[in-house]
Amino acid sequence: MPLLHPSRPHSAPAVPHLDSLYPRSAIPGGSFQVFGSHLLPSDPAHPSASPQLPSAYFGEVPATFDMARSTRAIIRVPAGAISSGLSLRSHGLTSNHLHANIGVPMVEDLHVISNPAVDADGNLFAMVSGPRGEQVPVSIYRVARDLQVTAFTRGLLNVSALAFGRDGNLYASSRSEGAIYRITPDGIISTFAEGMGIATGIAFDREGNLFVGDRSGTIFKIVPPSLESAGENPLVLNPQQPGAAGEIFVFATLEPSTAFYHLCFRPDGTLLVTTPTYCSHQPIYAIDPKGETSVYYRGLGRPQGMAFDVEGNLYVAASLHGHRGLVRLWPSRETGALQAELIVAGNDLIGLCFLDDGCAALATHSTIYHADLGIQGLSLL
């Protein structure tokens, strides 16, 4: 007579538990890495069956997995998600919640190819660059602090970079015309300088000199004209008088870029330049006030727009170890060598500027997102 064994009740399914998220923030399209336990639980009622993906939610907005394992998952932020609690749901059970900091759109339907710019009153300015040689209906939009979007300028061809000068005017480069335009707060446009090849990135130093990156291999320096001559004819390249007021001269030369030059000044007056290609291990160049060039950091994929915070940390739109977003570079206390960390996940992220409340404007090619990063940016004005 066979022995009878009492049936054993099935054990309850394990509840997914979330320990941490990386990086600290993301924009829609970017992905969080989630660390925890039982993230891919099996069904005790069918122990031989393959584990099934749980459902992921940012608040009540469903999300998709890029990858899932028992202790680690990668979850993509969907369009429409806002800062909220991330949770997993599996077999009728819900995990704990972890706060996910997510940027929200400020302005869409753009064509951004470098950093946006912010004026002294906190208004944001964003470009619509357009295909080379093609005119667009609106060249630059203005986004007020209350997020009202208005057309600021029309008629500029292929705006490539924006920067505010100490005079309160907005300066814009044109990669098609090799020119720099000066735009008053009322939107009045004049040609400030011309004859600079494929003019892309621009940046002002603390003395008010304007630097322009010609992606064919030149960094130009424009010494501002005197107040008496500021409204006269556009400035043109004059290598015979380098450094003279109201003149343009070659400051440094770099390798040509297939795409762009992005410029940013370090607090000590060193000019940093990125020349993005599709290489996964590119340098950021440093050019000292005498025009001598060195490598500031090497190891990012397609580095583009940059900005500093008040503590001297550099933030770069780039890829780090195959993950695209906003990368922070800071010196190690022990060795002084630069360390790198992804702090915002965002595919297609190309530029940024800091706002005056610990937030940042993060730019993709088509959209600028508002993200609360708790970072005080270095003033550019």
Same domain, 155 and 280: yes
- Is residue 42 predicted with pLDDT exceeding 90? no
Mean pLDDT of 93-100: 96
pLDDT for res 251:
94
CATH code of the domain containing 88:
2.60.40.10
For 37-57, give one letter per residue: b (16+ CB within 10 A) or e: ebbbbbeeeeeeeeeeebebb
Domain final residue pick, 102, 117, 139: 102
Structure tokens at 359: 């937030």
Same domain, 171 and 283: yes
Asked, for residue 10, whether it belongs to a domain, the answer is no
CATH code of the domain containing 183:
2.130.10.10
Residues 260 and 256: their CA atoms lie apart, in Å, by: 9
Range of the domain at 310: 105-372
Query: Tokens 């965002």 appear where?
Result: 346
Q: How far apart are the first and last CA of the chain?
A: 92
| Distance (Å) of CA 127 to CA 55, 157, 320, 346 | 38, 11, 26, 20
Domain final residue pick, 62, 85, 102: 102
pLDDT for res 53:
86
- Is residue 127 predicted with pLDDT exceeding 70? yes
pTM for the full predicted model: 0.90
CB neighbours (10 Å) of residue 10?
A: 11
Asked, for residue 167, whether it belongs to a domain, the answer is yes
Asked, for residue 271, whether it belongs to a domain, the answer is yes
Asked, for residue 4, whether it belongs to a domain, the answer is no
Same domain, 154 and 281: yes
Same domain, 150 and 69: no
Same domain, 319 and 203: yes
Domain final residue pick, 102, 120, 139: 102
CA max distance for the chain:
113
- Is residue 26 predicted with pLDDT exceeding 50? yes
Element (H, E) at 219: strand 218-222
Same domain, 291 and 355: yes
Judged by average pLDDT, the poorest of 204-208, 278-282, 284-288, 327-331 is 278-282
Q: Render pLDDT for 190-206 as a digit per residue (tens, 0 to 9).
A: 999 998 889 999 999 99
- Non-local CB neighbours of 337 within 8 Å, separated by 6+ positions: 331
Structure tokens at 317: 């739109």
Q: Render pLDDT for 237-285 as a digit per residue (tens, 0 to 9).
A: 655 455 555 688 899 998 877 678 999 999 999 999 999 877 778 999 9
Average pLDDT, the chain: 90
